[in-house]
Amino acid sequence: MAADIAVSAALALVEKVASFVDKIRKSPSHVREALDKARTCLERMDAYLTTSQARIDQGNQVQLQARVKQVRDVVHYIEDALDEFTIQVPHHSQYTHWYSGMTRCAAHSTSYWLASNRLSSEIEVIITNKIGFLRELDGLTQEGQPTCSTSQQHGGTLTPQVLEDDEIVGFDVPKQKLIEQLMKGDPKRLTISIVGPGGSGKTTIMRNVYDTKKVQRNFNCRAWIDVLRPLNLENVLRTMLSSFDPKGKRQEPEGTINCLKEKLKLLLQKKKFLVVLDNVWRNEDLESIVNALPNGSPGSKILVSTRTSDVASHSSNNYIHDLSRGLSKQHARYLFCKKAFPNNNNNNNCPQELEEWVEKFLKRCDGLPSAISAVGADLANKRHSPVEWKKAYESFESWGLSYRDLPSPLRSWELSYRDLPSQLKSCFLYFSVFPEDYSIKREKLIRLWIAEGFVKPEGRKTMEDVAEWYLNELVGRNLVSVSSKETDGQVRRCRVSNLVHHFIISKPENFLCVLKANHSTTDSGTKIRRLSVQDDNITISGSAYDLNGIRTLLVFGQGSSNNFRQFGNVLKNFKFLKVLDLQGAPLKKFPKGVVGLTLLRYLSLRETKIKRVPRSIIKLGFLETLDLKHTQITHLPKEICKLSNLRHLLVHHWDATSKNIQAVVVSSGNIKALRSIQKLSLIEVKKRNNRKLIKALGELVDLRKLGLQVDLASQEDRRQLCSSIQKMKHLSMLDLRSKSLEVYLDLDHMESPPKYVQRLHLEGLLDTLPRWIPKLESLSKIALKCSKLNDRVEPLEALESLPNLMELDLVDYSEGEVLKFKAGTFKELILVSIEQFDQLRKMVIENGAMPKLKKLTISKCRNLELVPKGIDGLTSLDQLCVNDMHTKFIAHLKGIAKRSSWDIFRRKISGGCKIVIDGTEQP
């Protein structure tokens, strides 16, 4: 795989075009030759770019930066030629999928032959004009510079910043716990891990603990190892022997790796030892070192620092110290003021006139100790005036681009960046397209990555599964922060810290141009591939940049209607555009220029006011994601069903009458032709096309997420729907809503439901819960709304034994007077919400029910006058929320509080449980 991001994208495109050409009989040979030349050219340039990065890092930025830019321009020329070919080949509606019907007609198409000739000529011109240049690149690559990845090349020479001992602020608790764990006389050798991003204080804490007198006295021998990349196990073992054996310090240990292992075994087998492994990057490195060590005497310990949670997982949970959250606001301020105002005896105070800038610097540093320390120390040498500090803050925007020029807060991120595989580098850099402090939804981020071409299928995994693995890997490496999680631990929203955001914006790969008011991250005249507009007052048509080669355009903010008045015409110039996100833009009509964007893969018009989608959308044969949520669209044309590359069709509109989201009607079309579809929601199945559409859905056997609003008036329709759902063996999310609240949502016709369903939403009348629900052993979240189960039905019986259920959302679910959570049931439940149980008069929580419950919400149960009996048995409860409840219920709750005080009541329920009444937390 190519090391350079631009080359990697171009090579992927070469392979895609080559695969298409190979499937066409009698395709001209010169087009294959041109693709081979393009591939060779790109590989040579990739080798040069990899080598050049090493030289730039050694300080030769002036000589090489311009040349690197030239090379990347050539890469982009090749990419443009390949995309131009893709645009020009036939795109008849019936042949929208590259690898099927289109290849059957392309060989006989004049357009195809003309496009092939043009591609061959353009590749030939590019290479011919640069042939001397390429030979020069080969010569430069051979001048003694290794062409291995930069992460390997410099792994041992780029040293991250280490905090001083006096900078250990806010880590008293983990430090003390670490000392206690090291002092314990465990019967077996233990591994203890400290995990966190670069600059979070891992090495400083370990060094401080390592040098503590009582820790020194607790072990017979100790060794501190800085683990370099790539791992040289022989050197590591020699260093250990030299540290453990006083004689070894005078004489270098000799022998092979096996010989060194044997010496360690003889030396340590009866000793209690401590080994510190600082900055371990890879699992296999840790395993190699640990496996070379004997168990030693009881109480022996291995202490590991790492940036990756994967490495840290070698320790049990109680022996993992996570520093990824950074310092609290209080401790961050203390450290900053200590460094910025060293002569101030009160380290928590700063001059009033600098208060605003202190807060800005602290926000930028995001609680990272090394950043706070470095910035504070730098400011200590400047005049303490608002003007000087303003200049210092603005200098963040002009930090250098080579490793040597980077300020110390960013160097630790450079090390982590270089350690990433090529595909993860692209995904990581993509966070720069979002504004600072922006939390992106996991699913949207994954769809964008796929549309950008960053994700490749692996085995039987879908691209969505692979992309989720990429995201988890970035989170595990402490490069991406999780803003919020689903109850099952899955990432819901994520972001990068402000410091990391600035780091990736400053990368020299020309990955992105950000337009803000009076600011841009790219020089005017530069060719732009990705554009992120982050200011409402910027008009794209008036941009001073070369946007003809733009592939990605994302617009953030509402903007003004004036700025978008000519937007449809502007789009005509963006023929290579593949990603267009106009969420929240002031659009009332579908932009007319969109349907001319042949290569478009991702289109989001979410939260706009558009009312219809034109039939000409059929021209977007490569479209993978169409996001029309929260628009005014009520119908989609049947041509949607001919977009066979579509993976995600997301639609619904807001109905002001019902004050609820409503599904969108798809005009009668061959929906089973959507053979790539992964998520289809929220589609209305109307009476007149019920049976045909429901049956066709059964053909979408690879569907992962399905949302339908249905009118199941006949028994046959209900059976057909259940039959179709049964065929969707990979389904993970099912959302079914009844169009009419007067018609029962009878779904009790499924013998073998999809066993991997994790989220289930049923909205509509139910006579009884479907018998297949208890079979959903993977179910983690269920929402049951407007079910109105009669009082003869035990409402919780079918749910209480679900082994993985973590979230239960019940709205107008039962008309019974009693709701009982039985002892020993709902063992994994974390969140429960009970709303609008109109007849409910008594709620009982038996001892041992819901032992892991964190949050309980009770709303609009007008006849419930007493606090749930047994609530004090919920020992894990963190939050009790009540909304719009009977006055007697509130009085009873406050009566308990009055008799025992809120604090006692909280302690009775759980240590530190918050109680919120109608949105107000009780004091």
Q: Are residues 36 and 112 in the same domain?
A: yes
Q: Are residues 127 and 218 in the same domain?
A: no
Q: What angle do CA 541, 542, 543 make, to 5 degrees?
A: 95
In this structure, is residue 626 part of a structural domain? no
In this structure, is residue 85 part of a structural domain? yes
* Boundary residue ending a domain (489, 506, 523): 506
Range of the domain at 67: 1-136
Give the pLDDT confidence of 676-698 residue by residue, as tens digits.
999 999 999 876 667 788 889 99
Q: What integer pLDDT is reported at residue 128 of this predicted model?
A: 81
**661's tokens:** 């989201």
Give the pLDDT confidence of 468-495 residue by residue, as tens digits.
999 999 999 999 999 999 999 999 999 9
Tell me the CATH number at 219: 3.40.50.300
Q: What angle do CA 894, 859, 791 make, to 5 degrees?
A: 110
Q: What integer pLDDT is reported at residue 658 of this predicted model?
A: 73
DSSP state of 545: S
Beta-strand pair 831-835/855-859: parallel
Tell whether the model's pLDDT for residue 43 goes beyond 90: no
Are 287 and 252 within 8 A, CB to CB?
Answer: no
Q: List, in sequence order, every beta strand (DSSP E) within 156-272.
A: 190-195, 221-226
* Boundary residue ending a domain (452, 486, 506): 506
Q: What average pLDDT score do residues 234-261 get? A: 79
Q: Are residues 20 and 68 in the same domain?
A: yes
Q: What integer pLDDT is reported at residue 562 of this predicted model?
A: 64
Give the pLDDT confidence of 785-812 residue by residue, as tens digits.
999 999 889 999 999 989 999 999 999 9
Q: What average pLDDT score do residues 193-202 get? A: 89
Q: Report the alpha-carbon distance of residue 654 to residue 633 in Å, rounded.
A: 9
Beta bridge partners of 737: 709, 763
Closest CA to 619 of 575, 585, 587: 575
Tell whether the model's pLDDT for residue 144 goes beyond 50: no
Q: What integer pLDDT is reported at residue 96 of this predicted model?
A: 42
Tell whether the model's pLDDT for residue 467 goes beyond 90: yes
Q: How far is CA 171 from the centre of its chain?
A: 28
Give the pLDDT confidence of 583-611 residue by residue, as tens digits.
999 999 999 899 999 999 999 999 999 99
Closest CA to 721 of 692, 764, 682, 757: 692
Q: Are residues 232 and 342 in the same domain?
A: no
In this structure, is residue 195 part of a structural domain? yes
Q: What is the 3-state secondary structure (H, E, C) of 816-879?
A: CCEEEECCCCCCCCCEEEEECCCCCCEEEECCCCCCCCCEEEEECCCCCCCCCECHHHCCCCCE
Closest CA to 785 of 694, 860, 731, 874: 860
Contacts 24+ apart (CB under 8 A), 52-60: 52/140, 53/150, 54/145, 54/146, 54/150, 54/153, 54/154, 55/145, 56/401, 56/402, 56/508, 57/150, 57/154, 57/158, 57/402, 57/403, 57/404, 58/404, 59/402, 59/404
Q: What integer pLDDT is reported at residue 400 of this predicted model?
A: 43
How many domains does the structure of the chain reveal?
4
Q: Report the alpha-carbon distance of residue 327 to residue 337 in Å, rounded.
A: 14
* Boundary residue ending a domain (345, 370, 401): 401
Name the 3-class secondary structure at 501. helix
In this structure, is residue 299 part of a structural domain? yes
Q: What integer pLDDT is reported at residue 18 of this predicted model?
A: 87
Q: Are residues 178 and 316 in the same domain?
A: yes
Tell whether the model's pLDDT for residue 405 goes beyond 70: no
Q: What average pLDDT score do residues 243-264 get? A: 76
Q: Are residues 339 and 258 in the same domain?
A: no
Q: Are residues 438 and 300 in the same domain?
A: no
Q: Report the alpha-carbon distance of residue 718 to residue 748 in Å, rounded.
A: 9
Q: What integer pLDDT is reported at residue 99 of this predicted model?
A: 43
- What Å distances lie between residue 844 and 536, 866, 870, CA to CA? 53, 10, 6
When computed from its CA atoms, the radius of gyration of the chain, rounded to whole angstroms, is: 31
- Crossing angle of helices 329-340 and 355-365, in 10° steps, is 120
Q: Report the alpha-carbon distance of residue 311 to residue 304 in Å, rounded.
A: 9
In this structure, is residue 697 part of a structural domain? no
Under the banding of pLDDT at 50, 70 and 90, the label for residue 44 is confident
Q: Report the alpha-carbon distance of residue 155 to residue 150 in Å, rounded.
A: 8
Q: Are residues 255 and 351 in the same domain?
A: no
Q: What integer pLDDT is reported at residue 685 of this predicted model?
A: 84
- What Å distances lie between residue 654 and 262, 376, 611, CA to CA? 72, 50, 12
Higher pLDDT, 408 or 771: 771
Tell me the range of 111-125, 161-175, 739-753, 870-884 where mean pLDDT is highest.
870-884
Give the pLDDT confidence of 80-128 residue by residue, as tens digits.
999 999 998 865 433 444 444 444 455 446 788 888 899 999 998 888 8
Are 533 and 556 within 8 A, CB to CB?
Answer: yes
Under the banding of pLDDT at 50, 70 and 90, the label for residue 911 is low
Q: Are residues 50 and 193 in the same domain?
A: no
Tell me the CATH number at 442: 1.10.10.10
Q: What integer pLDDT is reported at residue 505 of this predicted model?
A: 85
Q: Are residues 8 and 89 in the same domain?
A: yes
Closest CA to 133 of 78, 43, 70: 70
Give the pLDDT confidence of 554-586 residue by residue, as tens digits.
998 766 666 677 777 788 889 999 999 999 999
In this structure, is residue 816 part of a structural domain? no
**507's tokens:** 């990368």
Under the banding of pLDDT at 50, 70 and 90, the label for residue 902 is low
Residues, the chain: 923
In this structure, is residue 120 part of a structural domain? yes
Q: What average pLDDT score do residues 708-734 get? A: 91
Q: What average pLDDT score do residues 142-149 get? A: 42
Tell whether the model's pLDDT for residue 848 goes beyond 90: yes
Q: What integer pLDDT is reported at residue 854 of this predicted model?
A: 96
Q: Are residues 363 and 422 in the same domain?
A: no
Tell whether the model's pLDDT for residue 72 goes beyond 90: no
Name the 3-class secondary structure at 580. strand
Q: What integer pLDDT is reported at residue 483 of this predicted model?
A: 93
Higher pLDDT, 537 or 917: 917
Q: To the nearest whole percent, how much of the chain has pLDDT over 90?
A: 48
Which range (170-184, 415-429, 528-542, 796-810) has the least confidence? 528-542
Residue 859 identity: S
Q: Report the alpha-carbon distance of residue 75 to residue 13 in Å, rounded.
A: 11
Q: Are residues 374 and 470 in the same domain?
A: no
Q: What integer pLDDT is reported at residue 25 of this predicted model?
A: 67
Question: Peptide bond preceding 682: is omega within 30 degrees of 0, i.e. cis?
Answer: yes
Q: What integer pLDDT is reported at residue 592 of this predicted model?
A: 86
Give the pLDDT confidence of 296-331 residue by residue, as tens digits.
999 999 999 999 998 999 898 889 999 988 888 888
In this structure, is residue 235 part of a structural domain? yes
Higher pLDDT, 165 or 720: 720
Mean confidence (pLDDT) of the chain: 85
